[in-house]
Structure 1
Amino acid sequence: MAMTVAEIIDLPVVQAGKPKVLSSYGLDTPVRWVHVSDVSDLSDLLQGGELVLTTGAALRRSPRHYLAGLSRERAVGVVVELGAPDAPLPADAGSIAAELGLALIALHRVIRFVDVTEQVHRAIVAEQFAEVAFARRTHEMFTDLGMQRGSPTDIVDATAQLLDTPIVLEDLAHQAVAVAAAGHVTAELLRDWERRSRLHVGPGTASADTQDWISAPVGRHGEEWGRLIALRALPIPRVTMVLERAAQALVLHRMAERDRFDIEHQAQAGLLEDVLQERIRNKDDITARAFALGLRPVESYVPATVRCRDWPHDADPVAALRRSTQLLDAVVHAVKANGHTGLFSIRGSGEVGMVLSLRGVRGRTQHEVLDSLAIALHTGARRQSDSKEMVFGIATPQHDLVEAIRRIGEAGHVAEVALSMPSNGRICFRVNDIRIRGLVSLLRGDPRVQRFAEAELRVLILHDIVSGDRYVEILRGYVELAGNKSALANRLHMSRPALYAKLARIQDILGVDLADGESMTSLHVALLVSEAQSGS
């Protein structure tokens, strides 16, 4: 900041003159320049904001006329050198200066005015140079972010780095979609964020704990979609300039990424990825960011994944992203329409991972709530995509939010296995629904597992191909029903004697005893491997 009148008086070179303040008006006013002159009329020499140094001849002759002229030219004050003891100022000079809004300081010893101007002007020029250098650094940083297509998080981080103060980007719902803590505790910064932010709607409206906030709207006038807030910031032009430049960068990013999912989804996906990649590990910070993004605190959180079968392949990456975004939007809409909240992320083609905070419904279990949500998700997914089948994989609910986020991969595995299972109209699958199928799905790419399945079933498959029989289908039903021949006969709409004959023929072809537990287990696993291979 520019030096004030008081700071100039405190300089050693001025203090050597034994200064006495005759008018303290405007001592904290910044000084734009220091002007040395003994002429009585400075109207053609001043531009405003100057501190005048003089020996005081004109001031002694007519204090009101001289000081009124300085006031008209918007000078900030006068430093007058008294010189000899017999050259005092008029007694009313101080009161006149105060009346006209000028500082007046008298020096009782002679000093070198050139030393004063040199020190002050050096400081002023250094300040101006620093501001120019800072503006250039700001311009270069945001230009580089624009060239590199930096994310909103990158822009917020750069803003915090430039201002060395915490920065929060929020949407119109007062959800903190990006935060840079700048060395502070994120959980403390985001404490009760929505309420505090709503109270801070502009200058003069801040509460006690938001009085040091400085904000800037994000978006074109009348179409604002967010707000940048500098926390614990000093109200100086530099802060305003950087916030406005950051807001412009965010608008340009939004325009460039118009076809991508909105900023809230980016923020949620970024948080999930940060946790999964262990870029952030502080649980309090993670929880604070999640709650600021709209996740409702509950006793336990549900890791889940929506996955669609036969998801169309788009060679155009923009079209593929647009299709995935439509699925994400459908999932988010279904969750919110059912009164739940969550964090969501596109995990792959036709796949959305999430952590859910379920709204409790009286008289319904968590299983029933999830089954109901699965139906809504299926309806929304079918409406937004060409996929006719969708599964909802659910991992074990967790009391700890961070652990729930880390189990999204487990939910994805459940959904993957569920898609490899025979389609029977079921949508919702949990860990205990996949069991051995889950292990088989994990190992299906292992050549040793493939060789095992081939060795177990090869001769029966070849027999069906040559003869047209359906022995593999009969064997699959037999192991699925744990050897219950009556139930199998009913499923196949076949008489028992006919079924017994076919089972005997299968035993002969395979050379095994189907009543033997180990043989049944081996054949069942081989069939599951075969199913997993055909469904992959």
Structure 2
Amino acid sequence: MTSASNGVSQTKPAGAALTVRAALDLPILRGGAPEVVVGADALDRPIRWVHVVEVRDIASVLRGGELLLSEGRMFGSAVEDRRLIAELSERGVAALVIELGPRHRTLPKNIVVACQEHGLTLIALHLPVAFIDITEAIHSQIVSYKMTLLDSAHQLQDRLTHLALSNGQIPEVLDILADAVNNPVIYERQHGGFVYQALHTMTERDVSAAWEAHTRRISSAPTALETTLTVGERSAGRLVALAMSSPFTEADELALERTAGIVSLVLMRDEHQDSVAARNQRGFLTALMHGEMPPYRAEARSATLGFVAPVLLPLAIRAAAHHRSRPLSLEDRLWKQIWDDVNSEMTGRRMTAMIDQAPSNDISLVMLGLEDVTQRKSAIDRFANVVQEAADRHIGVPNGAIICAGSAVHTWQAAGEGLILSVEAMDGAMQSRPRPWHDAIDLDLDRLLWSLRQNPDLARFAHLRLDTLLDHDRQRRSELFKTLQELLRLNGRKAETARALHLERQSLYSRVERIEALLGVDLDDPDTRLGLHLALRIMRQLPEVADDLWA
């Protein structure tokens, strides 16, 4: 992708946020003969607001980024002063400015030491200055900068809105945003893998490498800004900017936020256009599932298409995951090849099937024709084997497709309901352990936990049992958590666990003893193992738990 040549000049605000260093350069503060006593290396912190402070309990009302002006009247005993400095530092105060005079002719040593210990920038004014003049000057600078930010954001939003109304596409929007933030921008779909990327001035290889590092949480990954995209009430992915050319500013955060709204608008427009097109060219099974084709018409139309079977078996299928660095267009082509192979194999095996193919980020619908309901499991096994082998060939991922199967039924009315059930089971199946296919009519444990994932008691149950172990592994870089997973998977059989983990038995026994000591449990007790196993299954459903925890 190429970048628009005039994007930066139209969207970047002039100047920058007022920092402590810039504030000290203002004439009004220079007139006070300022001396940076502590924190000379932190003068580039931005100032959000200015307060004149002479009371001790100010910390509770601060939000961070404040420049505090004082004559030091709030200082008292050494213990209270140290506590006050600690509270100000925790609140993220930009700097503390104390005017020397009758109250304090020199800065108290305990204040200087406390500021050094807590990293709070401390500045002394050796000449008197009217605090109201300081606040007026700084607030004027801050308000001017904020107005410039908002004006710049409005210009960017107006430009992108005009583009969207002119039927502009997401790649064009991202090119403008990349120029605005002076860095590459990526649109990642909801379940992983990018859809579009604006390279800005970087090469595709460099951006792909940076994106890989970011998604894998590698320490060398560039800083990222991101915001969620929504269409209606559902998430539609996220926009991510990578700081590869320059560090981010407050203006960049605002630009990303405003652009996200425009991208969501474009997505809604495109979905509406797709919906209109789909109503005109709706697939047979899709129309049946959405109630747009009465069952009697479905039966007649299926006969004209050569699909005649006494028993109908509905299924829903989608990609199990998306490659982090593979564009949507490439994955669509790969899945087209997968479906070509599946159709060819089904014909060769003389299996009766109808398939409504969907893009790689959507759900495809399948209807198998059987002679008898007793053939359900064997038919699903055969079909799943064909699909999973084709997926493995083309995308190189075992169990690369998620397959949800409904009931074997005799009527097209029931078949349509079975398609709905199979699609509804998809979200839970995506959170379950990989398997050749999922039974939509059997709510297994993983899908049950997924359906209850909003219940706070479940998360509390899992955290109470496992957080101690997780914290221990993070602090000591040990693998007790994965050892516990494997032990529970093998129902407490230690010899098999040692072989699975490639450990000597004594090493495993040592790990088990440490796990039992940390958790205060006996892993030989079956009820204890059951509770921990359930906690592990619950934790898999929690969004805040990192994927790399799972063995």
TM-score by length of 2: 0.40
Structure having the higher Rg: 1
TM-score by length of 1: 0.41
Where relative contact order (Cα < 8 A, 6+ residues apart) is larger, the structure is 2
